[in-house]
Amino acid sequence: MDRLNQINMAITAIEQGAQEYQIGSRRIKKAELSVLYQERRRLEQELREQENYGGVTVACFDRR
């Protein structure tokens, strides 16, 4: 969950215009949004699977 929060904060920062900045002669560029969106989807899917016990469905058939 912490990793997902970090991804969301990075996405928000980039969407608000913090994709790239310069300090002196050094230029810093954050991750590409597409990469962050992809990682967020992966993490959200992982969380859904954990909430659903790994995505395992159990069926019980009773013959009486």
Q: What is the pLDDT of residues 13-62, one digit of tens each?
A: 888 887 777 788 988 777 888 999 999 999 999 888 888 765 566 778 88
**Domain map of the chain by residue range?**
2-55
59 sits in the region (left: phi over 0; alpha: psi -120 to 50; else beta) called beta
In the chain, the amino acid numbered 33 is L
pLDDT above 90: residue 8: yes
Dihedral class, residue 54 (left if φ above 0, else alpha if ψ from -120 to 50, else beta): left
What pLDDT score was predicted for residue 56?
66
Task: Note the pLDDT of residue 36.
Answer: 92
* CA–CA gap between residue 20 and residue 33 (Å, rounded): 12
Q: What is the DSSP letter of 61?
A: -
